[in-house]
């Protein structure tokens, strides 16, 4: 069976993708720098990582390390990235180095030693605001909300006539609107891989992940997925901090579904394509905070609606899965409620270091929260 190199494979999504591929009979090699923000200061091999996966500890932006990791690899699943919209706005050099330079180093090596297939993790963040519909029934790409609008706590989206827009599922054909350095990084990663793959005859697929949740998320990382951030607060008997009015809508997809999508992308005959990977269902952030508190047995802790806005945040975005269903054969299987129950079982007994308030204070100091 083929050997797959997973960059960033010791992380949340990567470890589940490794399990999915090992279960399907693939050999798995992982390249990961075990970043302290994700794995803690000791940078030990995570206990959740399968012992059947070979681990190379190293930097994706180091050419010699990447060359070593690629030896004997038949396919590459490129997940390595620094993740977080807010942090990307003040650790710009770190984000560009890892996300863009790291991808360039990988592609430079693949140009010399092509593989059978390349899959790269992109993100729903590249869309900016999701697709919307006017009262007349026309689909439109909303304009970015102005600073004046946000300062008066007018959170919703409007058309040029000032009429409210209705959010609808966002397809891959929507033109990207890059609202943060992280979004720019992910779009650069996606386009670099698709362009290079086409030029060097490496069948390439980009997967645009929506809000991924499940066990093994880094609970002490204040820039990880929102459910993990809320969980860290609740485990410390603190109220989840919800920005704006909490009615912004997102698409939460379970990591088991995402891992299966990674395998499908490695096995599909389609190439030079981007695919949405989500649940196809939207939920408000405040409702998700309440649901999580209930399944964790902390239903008495209500979320705190901050009424604040972070630079780079968008209002609504959730996935149109028609293309992924038709061409990839991807269908989300894990119900949100079942996924929350599994997450609650994983969280039992965990004592994370809650960094959410410090992260928000850092954004405030830099003028990135209004």
Query: What percent of the residues of the chain are helix, what percent strand, and what percent coil, each to the nearest 5?
Result: 40, 15, 45
| CB distance 269 to 207 below 8 Å | no
Reported residue count of the chain is 370
DSSP 135: T
**How far apart (Å, rounded) are the C-alpha atoms in residues 248 and 211?**
13
Given the DSSP bridges, would you call strands 249-250 and 283-284 parallel, antiparallel or unpaired?
A: antiparallel
**How far apart (Å, rounded) are the C-alpha atoms in residues 142 and 131?**
7
**Which residue(s) pair with 341 in the sheet?**
none
**How far apart (Å, rounded) are the C-alpha atoms in residues 265 and 288?**
29
| 3-class secondary structure, 68 | helix
Token digits of residue 301: 């802790």
* Residue 104 φ then ψ, to 5°: -65, -40
State the DSSP string of 161-181. Answer: TSPBPEE-PBPTTSPP---SH
Q: Which residues does the annotation mark as catalytic?
A: 182
| CB distance 278 to 210 below 8 Å | yes
End-to-end CA distance of the chain: give it in Å, rounded. 52
Exposed / middle / buried, residue 181 (Cβ in 10 Å: 0-12, 13-18, 19+): buried
| CB distance 138 to 122 below 8 Å | no
Scan for tokens 């942090």, then name that residue. Answer: 87
The runs of H, that is alpha helices, within 113-243 are 147-151, 181-199, 226-235
| CB distance 220 to 40 below 8 Å | yes
């Amino acid at each position: 069976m083929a050997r797959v190199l997973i960059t960033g494979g010791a992380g949340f999504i990567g470890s589940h993708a490794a399990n999915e591929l090992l279960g399907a009979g693939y050999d798995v090699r992982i390249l990961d720098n075990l970043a302290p923000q994700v794995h803690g200061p000791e940078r030990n091999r995570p206990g959740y990582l399968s012992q059947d996966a070979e681990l190379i500890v190293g930097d994706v932006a180091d050419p010699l390390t990447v060359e070593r990791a690629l030896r004997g690899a038949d396919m590459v699943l490129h997940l390595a990235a620094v993740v977080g919209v807010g942090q990307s706005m003040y650790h710009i050099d770190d984000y560009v180095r890892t996300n863009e330079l790291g991808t360039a180093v990988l592609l430079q090596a693949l140009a010399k030693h092509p593989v059978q297939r390349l899959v790269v993790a992109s993100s729903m963040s590249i869309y900016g605001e999701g697709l919307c519909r006017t009262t007349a029934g026309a689909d439109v790409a909303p304009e970015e909300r102005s600073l004046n609008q946000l300062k008066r706590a007018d959170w919703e989206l409007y058309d040029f006539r000032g009429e409210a827009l209705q959010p609808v599922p966002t397809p891959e054909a929507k033109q990207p609107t890059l609202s943060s350095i992280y979004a720019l990084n992910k779009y650069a990663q996606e386009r670099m891989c698709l362009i290079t793959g086409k030029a060097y005859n490496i069948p390439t697929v980009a997967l645009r992940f929506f809000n991924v949740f499940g066990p093994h998320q880094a609970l002490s990382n204040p820039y990880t997925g929102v459910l993990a951030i809320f969980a860290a607060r609740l485990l410390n008997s603190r109220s989840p901090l919800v920005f704006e009015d909490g009615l912004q809508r997102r698409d939460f997809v379970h990591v088991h579904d995402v891992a299966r999508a990674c395998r499908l992308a490695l096995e599909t005959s389609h190439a030079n394509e981007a695919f949405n990977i989500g649940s196809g269902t939207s939920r408000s952030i405040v409702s998700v905070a309440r649901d999580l508190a209930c399944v964790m047995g902390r239903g008495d802790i209500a979320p705190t609606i901050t009424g604040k806005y972070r630079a780079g945040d968008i209002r609504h975005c959730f996935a149109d899965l028609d293309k992924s269903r038709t061409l990839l054969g991807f269908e989300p299987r894990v119900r949100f409620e079942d996924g929350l129950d599994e997450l609650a079982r994983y969280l039992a007994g965990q004592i994370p270091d809650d960094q959410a308030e410090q992260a928000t204070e850092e954004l405030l100091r830099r003028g990135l929260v209004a």
